[in-house]
A and B are shown apart, each in its own frame.
Chain A
Amino acid sequence: KQEVTQIPAALSVPEGENLVLNCSFTDSAIYNLQWFRQDPGKGLTSLLLIQSSQREQTSGRLNASLDKSSGRSTLYIAASQPGDSATYLCAVRPTSGTYKYIFGTGTRLKVLA
């Protein structure tokens, strides 16, 4: 059974710092992985999608990497800003004949001004 873990559960950093969020999954048989951002009381916004054949994706100050064989993905945020404060979730889509995404429990990020 695929399980997705995100560590740490919460993180506080000063503004301007570069940071890395971690996502681990137990079964490497995935089709793709997505990183999402969730603001309080809101739905999720997809940030980056990495296909299983890709190693990384970049969007602005965000860079997501995927090491499928080791079951890990990282989300790198450069030059963090207070507006980056949110909960970040990763989700994997298994290859096992279902199209559902399995989510981690998220990392709650606070960037201090």
Chain B
Amino acid sequence: GAGVSQSPSNKVTEKGKDVELRCDPISGHTALYWYRQSLGQGLEFLIYFQGNSAPDKSGLPSDRFSAERTGGSVSTLTIQRTQQEDSAVYLCASSRLMGNEKLFFGSGTQLSVL
């Protein structure tokens, strides 16, 4: 695709529900990253993928958070039993190779947990 695509752009859910956030990286990009941005805060690293494997999951806040990537392309971030503190913008980025490559970000998913 022309850019990194994320869906949905907005998600409102009730506390305790599960949500799935989707990221379509730029075609051919090997690396895929998930970040979270809370209001007025910097970007918090969650996880990155190299191909379909996730060498660094250290940023996932709890075991309620999981992510997968299939076919070296689309990635899904799942949050189970959502809490109000999960409310944030979830950003996905991709790059052509791991290493000295610019990151290309999607527009993000605004998650609101009521």
Asked if B43 and A103 make an inter-chain contact with CB atoms under 8 angstroms apart, the answer reads yes
A103 to B105, CA, bound (A): 14
Asked if A99 and B105 make an inter-chain contact with CB atoms under 8 angstroms apart, the answer reads no
Category for how many chain B residues contact A = 20 to 34
Identify 18 new A-B residue pairs, CB closer than 8 A, beyond the known A89-B42, A103-B42: A34-B102, A34-B103, A41-B107, A43-B91, A43-B105, A43-B106, A44-B91, A46-B102, A46-B103, A46-B105, A49-B102, A91-B103, A98-B56, A99-B31, A99-B98, A101-B103, A103-B35, A105-B42
Contacts of B100 in A (CB 8 A): 31-32, 49, 51
Asked if A42 and B42 make an inter-chain contact with CB atoms under 8 angstroms apart, the answer reads no
Sample of 14 A–B contacts (CB below 8 Å): A31-B99, A31-B100, A32-B100, A36-B105, A43-B91, A44-B105, A46-B103, A51-B100, A89-B43, A99-B99, A100-B59, A103-B42, A103-B43, A105-B42
- Count of interface residues, chain A, beta-carbon cutoff 8 Å: 24
Question: A100's contact among B33, B99, B105, by CB below 8 Å, is which?
Answer: B33
- Across chains A and B, the number of contacting residue pairs, with CB separation under 8 Å, is 64
Asked if A46 and B104 make an inter-chain contact with CB atoms under 8 angstroms apart, the answer reads yes
Closest-by-CB residue of B relative to A52 is: B100
Nearest-neighbour CB distance to chain B for A4, whole angstroms, equals 8
Residue A26 at the chain B interface, CB threshold 8 Å: no
Residue B41 at the chain A interface, CB threshold 8 Å: yes
A98 to B41, CA, bound (A): 23
Nearest-neighbour CB distance to chain B for A64, whole angstroms, equals 13
Residue A62 at the chain B interface, CB threshold 8 Å: no
Binding site for B on A (CB under 8 A): 4, 31-32, 34, 36, 41-46, 49, 51, 89, 91, 98-106
Most buried by B among A32, A43, A106: A43
A49 to B25, CA, bound (A): 20
A32 to B45, CA, bound (A): 17
Residue B71 at the chain A interface, CB threshold 8 Å: no
